[in-house]
Structure 1
Amino acid sequence: MRTSLPLPPHYDPQRVGEVWRVPYAERAAEARAWAEQHGLRPAGEDRFRIALLAIDVQNTFCIPGFELFVGGRSGLGAVEDNRRLCEFIYSNLDIITQIFPTMDTHQAAQIFHPLFFVNENGEHPAPHTQITVEDIERGIWRFNPALGPTLGLDPAYVQAHLLHYTRTLAASSHYALTVWPYHAMLGGIGHALVAAFEEAIFFHSVARSSQPDIQIKGNHPLTENYSAIEPEVRQDHQGSPIGAVNQRLLDRLRTFDAILVAGEAKSHCVAWTVQDLLEHYQQSAPEELKKIYLLVDCMSPVVVPGVVDYTEAADAAFVRFAAAGMHLVRSTDPIEQWLEGWA
């Protein structure tokens, strides 16, 4: 039976919830020595290829005090999740072939940020405001016309788009348009990967000669993009595209024998990524749904005490995923106990 690798000496679980600089040169030397000590082979030689799709493991969602910290019901959800995720990577360094981190990537003037909207008094909506079809129809919230020139958009066009957008969401199973606090701001510290997770990825890269495949998402001003596969709404009211399916990622993942999914938040970016994987696989290769494994102890739902709790919605989604053939597993269980076909 395979023995999991030990955690390397540099890993400190107490620092997972902190922001710090990864000492790359030092870690690279240690990773090369670690690979030699434990007989690690280049990932390109793997006969059973395992992908780890890590959704939005970024400071903005995962560090207490940051803009959209995902605390879950425990209050420390993302920190606890990332301790387990980092330890899972180190313990299975020898068999994880490639890591696919996704990164929510935003600027101030986007459809889910306060600056995008104004009311009749010129005020912006508060974070966590949900904007409905009726709100747009009644003019309670409208596009901030001052943004038109810098975005190169006609305010009348955007207002028509907002009506189409909210109607499209209402007619689907997706969440209503939500105004979030400014988060994952491109170039800011909140956008960065969690340091402990980044360090684990870098260590894996050097030890296994495996370049991570980072996926940028969420940078179009006219649509939300919870999923790493496609935006919430892909066309404007005129039928013109405002986003596209990430076909490259779908095609890359299809080349692996197993796809492991972790990250934040379980109720939003993870759930909608998995939902899109489900829909695309059902259309093209339903028999391959069984190679998707959801690391349920490495993700937490959005919970804002006294405001909103998405725990039950997230759990219901994962029941559907399991019924479709995906596996709900725990990172702390030996991988050979749940990974079909590996041994």
Structure 2
Amino acid sequence: MNTQTTTQLSIPPHFNLEKVGEVWRVPYQELASEAEAWAQKLNIQPAAFDKRRICLLLIDVQNTFCIPGFELFVEGKSGTGAVEDNQRLCEFIYRNLGVITTIVPTMDTHTAMQIFHPIFWINAAGEHPIPAATSITPTDLEQGIWKVNPAVANSITKGDYELLKKHAYHYVKQLSQDGKYPLTVWPYHSMLGGIGHALVSSVEAAIFFHCIARQSLTQFEIKGDNPLTENYSVLRPEVLIGFDQNPLAQKNTRLIQQLLEFDAVIIGGQAKSHCVAWTIDDLLTEIKQIDANLAKKVYLLEDCTSAVVVPGVVDYTEQADAAFARFAAAGMHIIKSTDPIQSFF
């Protein structure tokens, strides 16, 4: 017997829409008690009984991207994009609590001395690049406009500066050859151990509530901690092979295989133009190598993701929309958070 809930549920009384844009402590014990009582009241069964297994993949729903005033807040077109996205996302989780089998949040995870942070680079005057306003190309390195900061070699390559320079030049050159974004120097963000690294409190509460109510362990996926490559996608880093033809980093083959085994994968998070788009793109690449029809099991929560927009500086909305159109053409479904999951099948 299929014991999954077949209708959308009401939203539990603890959820406060106005607090989604704030940082606060999740009261785990109280929430756990409420979740168990809620499951009993609404006859929500453990996820282990699901006949149709549904994964909710949440990309980088962290304070650093989603809370106004934090390092890389995703404004979107409205100026408060990520907050509005997460309001809808929380409601989506609560209303579909009985049918979401597993929630997989990705966690962008950084330390200071990484190739995309200011301290990694200096110019002839010893100054670091201005974050978010600086891209570094192979020509920049060849002309000496930017060079690797010798001081960081002690932490990354055990003091071997020449080795670090070779790694860096290869990486920047590889990005340009692969047609990806040039190396962008980002503000320090998603710093391991910091508040910015944490999930948005309201989303964390919704995920924890799901974990207890469905007795389904939340599966956290760490990405971005390799000092020598960016990791927009959770499925693979931007560059896999180093200058010496040895592996620089690995694809997340375990997660790729796991996602493709679900009956449906629903994807939302930040930012639509960067980490969300590149994760979906990598998933589509894997799908095409196995069976193009598998794209039909992927659903994209278009109203739970926003593009990077910095007014007067950059607007990636057009690129993000073009990527989603390409995903839809490949067979993936563009959906809204108000669409009942059971209507997908």
Q: TM-score, normalised by structure 2?
A: 0.96
Hey, what's the Cα distance between the residues in 2 that align with 1:214 and 1:284?
A: 25
1:238 aligned residue: 244
Instruction: Indicate the residue corresponding to 1:34 in structure 2.
Output: 38
* 1:196 maps onto 2:177 in alignment: no
Contact 1:70 1:77 in 2 (8 A): yes
1 CA distance for matches of 2:200 and 2:111? 19
Structure 2 partner of 1:138: 143
- Please state how far the C-alpha of 1:157 moved relative to its aligned partner: 1.6
User: Is the contact made by 2:7 and 2:342 (CA closer than 8 Å) also made in structure 1?
Assistant: no
Residue 242 of structure 1, CA deviation: 1.6
SS at match of 2:57: strand
Does 1:8 find its partner at 2:12?
yes
Instruction: Work out the CA distance in 1 between the residues paired with 2:296 and 2:172.
Output: 34
Q: Is the 8 A contact 2:54 2:99 kept in 1?
A: yes
Kept after mapping to 2: 8 A contact 1:7/1:87:
yes
Matched positions, count: 339
Are positions 1:66 and 2:109 aligned together?
A: no
C-alpha distance in 2, partners of 1:157/1:308?
34
Choose which of 108, 111, 121 in structure 2 pairs with 1:107.
111
Percent identity (aligned): 59
Provide the residue aligned with 2:128 in structure 1. 124
**Separation in 2 of the partners of 1:333 and 1:100?**
20
Structure 1 segment 146-225 matched on structure 2, within 5 A? 146-151=151-156, 152-225=158-231
Counterpart Cα distance in 2 of 1:315 and 1:302? 12
Query: Which residue pairs with 1:21 in the alignment?
Result: 25
For structure 1, which runs of at least 5 residues remain unmatched after alignment? Answer: none
Specify the alignment match of 2:338 in structure 1.
332
Letter in 2 for 1:81: D
Q: CA deviation at 1:334?
A: 2.5
Q: 1 CA distance for matches of 2:25 and 2:58? A: 20
Q: Larger deviation: 55-64 or 302-311?
A: 302-311
Q: Kindly indicate whether the alpha-carbon contact (under 8 Å) linking 2:99 and 2:341 is maintained by their aligned counterparts in 1.
A: no
Task: Note if contact 2:241-2:247 (Cα within 8 Å) is conserved in structure 1.
Answer: yes
The answer to whether the 8 A contact 1:136-1:162 is kept is no
- The offset of 1:78, in angstroms, is 0.3
- What is the identity, as a one-letter code, of the residue corresponding to 1:282? K
Whether the 8 Å contact between 1:289 and 1:326 is mirrored in structure 2 is yes
Q: Which amino acid aligns with 1:61?
A: F
CA distance in 2, matches of 1:239, 1:201: 41
Q: CA deviation at 1:160?
A: 1.9
171-180 vs 287-296, which moves further: 171-180
In 2, Cα distance between the equivalents of 1:44 and 1:183?
37
Letter in 1 for 2:165: Q
Q: 1:87-128 deviations in whole A, cap 9, x for unaligned?
A: 000000000000000000000100110000001111000012
Listed one character per residue, the Cα deviations across residues 162-198 of structure 1 (whole Å, up to 9, x for unaligned) are 2221221112231110000000000000000000000
**CA separation in 1, counterparts of 2:194 and 2:249?**
24
- Kindly indicate whether the alpha-carbon contact (under 8 Å) linking 2:119 and 2:128 is maintained by their aligned counterparts in 1: yes
Distance (whole Å) between structure 2 residues aligned to residue 251 and residue 261 of structure 1 = 16
CA distance in 2, matches of 1:153, 1:178: 25
- How far is 1:153 from its partner? 4.9
AA partner of residue 74 (structure 1): S
Name the amino acid aligned to 1:34. W
Letter in 2 for 1:327: H
1:286 matched to which residue of 2? 292
Partner of 1:254: 260
Q: Corresponding residue for 2:48?
A: 44
Q: Cα deviation per residue 1:258-293 (whole Å; 9 max; x = unaligned)? A: 000000000000000000000011001222110000
Moved more, 55-64 or 312-321: 312-321
Runs of 4+ in structure 1 over 3 Å off: none
> Residue type matched to 1:120 in 2?
A
Does 2:331 match 1:322? no
Q: Distance in 2 between matches of 1:170 and 1:73?
A: 28
Cα RMSD for the two superposed structures = 1.1
Distance in 2, Cα, partners of 1:336 & 1:35: 19
